[in-house]
Amino acid sequence: MTSIYLDDFRIPEEHPNNGTWLVVRDHDEFVETVTEIGLENIDIMSLDHDLDESSTQHYFNYVKENYEIDYSQIEKKTGLDVAKWLISHSIETAKDLPKCYIHSHNPIGSGKMLGYLNLYLKKCRRPENCEIRRWKYSR
């Protein structure tokens, strides 16, 4: 089984099962990797929200003070786009989602992703077990 860690910058130093992570850096690489491997061959995913400098800057310059995200100000797709794609892909392939963690330090983005994924799990009558997790990481 494969574990995928989506983050534009960080490299994880720990894994919940003492395994290793396959690190991907953006939405397109994530989609390509999951499509190639197959959801059924992935046991864990850990997702970041801010996947480029524009989203990180938007967080520090706008989101922290306004408690909302203006996605029109972000240049690349975010972890929320990844979560939406995951759900569509799960529906299209009739494959269950693997265990999902959100490790983003953006609390608004994390909450949106968490809610989106757990609502889908609830609709599928599966445990709403997507959760926030902070990993030790380098960089």
- The pLDDT score that the predictor gives to residue 21 is 97
Instruction: Locate the domains of the chain by residue range.
Output: 2-138
Taking only the tens of pLDDT, the chain with its 139 residues reads: 999 999 999 999 999 988 999 999 999 999 999 999 999 999 999 999 999 999 999 999 999 899 999 999 999 999 999 999 999 999 999 999 999 999 999 999 999 999 999 999 999 999 999 999 999 988 7
- C-alpha of 15 from chain center: 16
Residue 129 CA to residue 122 CA, distance in Å, equals 9
Give the residue carrying structure tokens 């929320």.
80
105: three-class secondary structure by DSSP: coil
Query: Is the CATH number of domain 2-138 1.10.3470?
Result: no
- The pLDDT score that the predictor gives to residue 138 is 82
- The pLDDT score that the predictor gives to residue 88 is 98
- The pLDDT score that the predictor gives to residue 83 is 98
- The pLDDT score that the predictor gives to residue 45 is 98
CB 64 within 8 A of CB 8: no
Q: Where are the alpha helices (DSSP H) in 9-139?
A: 27-37, 53-58, 64-66, 79-93, 107-123
